[in-house]
Amino acid sequence: MKTVALYVTASNKKEAKKIGAMIVKERLAACANIVDKIQSVYWWKSKLEQGAESLLVLKTKQSLAKKAIKRIKAIHSYDCPCITVLPIVGGNSAFLQWIADETR
């Protein structure tokens, strides 16, 4: 079983909590971590933008990543949300097994 982390930015803590709760409740991820008030600098529609966002990190199985991305996009407020899949190449084997056990 391959384990991944979904790295997602959200407009604010409330949106990150909403997305995280939905994905965990639906067993598409074992857990969600929210980091409030990150500062982002990015290009959008040919303009350099800056703003506060929240970061959401979801731990799941690689086999569930596409389904989780589809669900996130369905409720996210952004036209083009940042959702990336990062491989987890190692770690506490008991924790990695817990992720496998808690996702479907």
Domain ranges in the chain are 3-102
pTM for this one? Answer: 0.95
Each residue's pLDDT tens digit, 60-84: 999 999 999 999 999 999 999 999 9
Chain mean position to CA 91: 19
**Per-residue model confidence (pLDDT) at position 29:** 98
Cα 97 to Cα 14, 22, 40, 81, 89, distances in angstroms: 29, 21, 33, 29, 13
Q: Which fold has domain 3-102?
A: Alpha-Beta Plaits (3.30.70)
Distance of alpha carbon 41 from alpha carbon 48, whole angstroms: 7
